[in-house]
Amino acid sequence: MGLARYRAEVSRQKQEAILKAALNAFLELGYDRTTIDYVAQQAEVSTATLYKHFPSKADLFGGIMAQVWRTDQISARPISTDLPSRDALTAIGQEYAQLLMSPTIQALFRVIIAEAPRFPELGTELYYRGKEPFLKRLNVYLEAQNEAGQLAVGEVAIATRQFLGMINDIIFWPRFLIMDLQVSEQEVETVIENAVETFLARYGVVQ
């Protein structure tokens, strides 16, 4: 391994350690009580090293959101426009549902809901580092399907939110209101199937 590659790998490992320590701290202490010094100590790096990777606590929280939402993977993996609409929407729905069912996602949302009134940057980081890349990828696919005449979506941005909303409104948000609510894999599949059918009934083109 060359020197440049070695340094890049060391940097990557330090960043991973920082994100892991920060995630644990935010979930345990909340956003307000978590300090940069504490995270650096838990990650076994210097405060200067942490700031080199994440210039502020908001950036650190954003890094966590990008990681748990798999932002890099999503941005680098566009949806193939060759996929039929039903197959593509089903795959998107399954990926989205898998993320929403993650205990980490749910726990981080609780932190955001509890502390966003005092720290509005949490909502900003959630959107720009988490949800926006997911929304953009679906938007690109829907626009391509529009141009190909496979779908007839008037307002793509609205349709994107409608589709994802049909999923998270049933399998995600109720778990914040009902303690220990369990959602089975079969229920998730049914929700996705119904969302796809509803979407295509509204925006599908009769061949």
Domain boundaries, the chain: 3-55, 68-203
In this structure, how many other beta carbons lie within 10 angstroms of the beta carbon of residue 45? 19
pLDDT tens-place string over residues 53-62: 999 999 999 9
Evaluate whether 3-55 and 68-203 have a shared fold.
no
Q: Across the strands, what pairs with 151?
A: 204
Q: What average pLDDT does the segment 125-134 reach?
A: 84
Tell me which architecture the domain covering 3-55 has in CATH.
Answer: Orthogonal Bundle (1.10)
pTM: 0.84
Res. 74: pLDDT tops 80: no
Q: Which of 146, 131, 45, 143 is nearest to 96 (CA)?
A: 131
Res. 135: pLDDT tops 80: yes
* Structure-token pair, residue 151: 């779908």
Q: What mean pLDDT is reported for the chain?
A: 90
Q: Which fold has domain 68-203?
A: Tetracycline Repressor; domain 2 (1.10.357)
Q: Which of 12, 146, 143, 129 is nearest to 72 (CA)?
A: 129
Question: What pLDDT does residue 118 have?
Answer: 92
Share of the chain above pLDDT 70, in %: 98
